[in-house]
Amino acid sequence: MTTTEFTVTGMSCGHCERAIRDEVTAVPGVTGVEVSAATGTLQVTSDVAVDDRAVLAAVDEAGYSAVRS
């Protein structure tokens, strides 16, 4: 299992967290998502290698920006 952390900007509430969680969960290979508006972090867990670009695109689709930490 692999866990990758990202820093997300623009989150301020639970709705933000849900929007990101919904988009990132749909990325193939992702098995878990932990997102916190309070800390501005996103942790993605997977059993196989997941392309960072796919995660970043999912965050973008949710309306936010992210970079790998």
Q: State pLDDT tens for residues 14-69.
A: 999 999 999 999 999 999 999 999 999 999 999 998 999 999 999 999 999 999 99
Distance (Å, whole) CA 55 – CA 24: 6
pLDDT of residue 33: 98
Q: Looking at domain 2-68, does it have CATH number 3.30.70.100? A: yes
**Domain residue ranges in the chain:** 2-68
pLDDT of residue 56: 98
pLDDT of residue 69: 92
Q: Which letter does DSSP use for residue 59 in this model?
A: H
Rounded mean pLDDT of the chain?
96
- List Cβ neighbours of 27 (8 Å cut-off, separation of 6 or more): 44, 50, 54, 55, 58
Reported in sequence order, the residue ranges of 24-68 that DSSP labels E, i.e. its strands, are 30-36, 41-46, 65-68
pLDDT of residue 24: 98
